[in-house]
Amino acid sequence: MKSRKAPLSYRFKLRLKQVIDWLVAQAAFSVLGLIRLLGPRRAGNLFGYLARTFGKLTKQDRLARANVKAAFPEKTDAEIDAIVAQSWDNLGRVAAEYPHMAAIYDFDGQNQGNIEIEGAEIFDRLANDGKPAIIFSAHLANWELPAIAAARHGLEVTVLYRTPNNRRIAEYIRRVRADIMGDMLPTGSSAVFGMAATLEANGHLGLLVDQRYWRGPIGQMFGRPVLMNPVVPKLLRKFDAPVHGCRVIRLPKGRFRIELTEEIPMPRDAKGEIDLPAAAQVISDVIQGWVRENPGQWLWQHNRWGGIRKKKKVEG
């Protein structure tokens, strides 16, 4: 029996999408070529300026401004404007730094280059203790750097990441990251099995956990209800692994400081099991402290505080 062909309209739309994806990828690769020619410093300045200039014309700018105002009600309009502008500037610089990540990370053990590290001995300790560990981070400064730092210190970390919809761009990102980072685990329904397999093999996980998670418990961040990420506490209910936080701070003149914390104790309930909401809140509180110290380096354009009403309605 012959299989029926897909409708002509569907095949046309599929072909059109492939063409658009190819054009978008070629445009992206051309921009990346320009960034390589400019070098990290000049490209960062240019893309920071472009992000500041055109970001304020988008609806994400209004969202960022509302988020900052709600998080820091004591700040003036001028201070809020400055934080949002810094956030756009940081986002532009992150994009410009992407092709230069290998060169930017030049840690020499003396904090003399582009990178200085607080807690470098913890990276070394985790790399050699033969035990699993979970390292969480946030979208602060250049959030790609912790995974590179771990790899350069011999700490094999499996990093959870979101795959771009464009296949050609996704392949480029995978190739770039594979050269300077550890294993990459794409998000999706099967990611939980990959994370579990990593910890079962005494491996290490690197997770960005500061964005909204629909199936997470409701907690607090900057005094507002927020949907917290439950992935780390859920993993801890099955695996005995220490939890560390890692943040990046953008410094003047293209430099960065990476800070890796000592183990962060996670709360337990009366039965001795990890208290999922309380543990998620501990992690959220750590991230809130990081953001409060350097608010202009966080990704305020994300709808971090959204979804609460819908969540409560669904749960009755």
Residue 10 and residue 143: Cα distance in Å, rounded?
39
Question: Which of 13-22, 68-77, 79-88, 180-189 has the lowest average pLDDT?
Answer: 13-22
For helices 167-180 and 145-152, the axis angle rounded to 10 degrees is 40
Q: What's the confidence (pLDDT) of residue 98?
A: 86
- Which pLDDT score is estimated for 50? 94
| Residue 269 within a domain | yes
Angle at 212 between CA 54 and CA 139, to 5 degrees: 55
Query: What pLDDT is recorded for position 89?
Result: 97
> Which neighbouring-strand residues pair with 249?
257
Q: Are residues 203 and 239 in the same domain?
A: yes
| Residue 164 shares a structural domain with residue 222 | yes
d(CA 82, CA 61): 12
Q: Give CA separation, 239 vs 130, 191, 277, in Å.
A: 14, 16, 17
Q: Is 202 inside any structural domain?
A: yes
Domain tally, the chain: 2
Per-residue pLDDT tens digits for 118-174: 999 999 999 999 999 999 999 999 999 999 999 888 898 998 877 777 777 777 777
**Both 233 and 188 in a single domain?**
yes
Burial degree of 37 (CB within 10 A; 0-12, 13-18, 19+): exposed
Domain boundary among 46, 71, 95: 95
Nearest one of 261, 280, 136 to 221, comparing CA atoms: 280
**How many other CB atoms are there within 10 angstroms of residue 70's CB atom?**
12
Structure confidence at residue 1 (pLDDT)? 46
Give the integer Cα–Cα distance in Å for 261 and 258.
Answer: 10
Helix (H/G/I), strand (E/B), else coil: 218? strand
For residue 250, what pLDDT band results from cuts at 50, 70 and 90? very high
Residue 192 lies in a domain: yes
- Mean pLDDT on 287-310: 92
Rounded to an integer, the average pLDDT of 80-101 is 94
User: Is there a single domain that holds both residue 87 and residue 129?
Assistant: no
DSSP-H helix ranges across the chain: 8-55, 59-71, 77-97, 101-104, 120-128, 145-152, 167-180, 191-200, 231-236, 276-293, 308-314
Residue 280 lies in a domain: yes
Say if CB 267 and CB 314 are below 8 A apart. no
Same domain, yes or no: 160 and 251: yes
161 shares a domain with 48: no
* Final residue before a domain boundary, out of 44, 75, 95: 95
Do 34 and 128 fall within a single domain? no
Residues 175 and 150 in one domain: yes
175 and 293 together in one domain: yes
157 & 67 share domain: no
Q: Distance (Å, rounded) from C-alpha 19 to C-alpha 163? A: 19
Task: Answer yes or no: is 100 within a domain.
Answer: no
pLDDT at 11: 63
Q: Is residue 1 part of a domain?
A: no
Same domain assignment for residues 224 and 285: yes
Out of 21-30, 102-111, 148-157, which region has the weakest mean confidence (pLDDT)? 21-30
In a domain, 3, yes or no: no
Is residue 86 situated within a structural domain? yes
Mean pLDDT of 285-291: 98
Residue 73 burial (C-beta neighbours within 10 Å; 0-12, 13-18, 19+): exposed
Of 64, 95, 126, the one marking the end of a domain is: 95
> Do 186 and 296 lie in a common domain?
yes
Please give the residue that has the higher pLDDT: either 225 or 2: 225
pLDDT of residue 6: 60
pLDDT value for 241: 94
Domain span holding position 268: 106-314
Average pLDDT, the chain: 88
CA pair distance 232, 299, nearest whole angstrom: 21
Residue 51: CA count within 13 A, CB half-sphere: 22
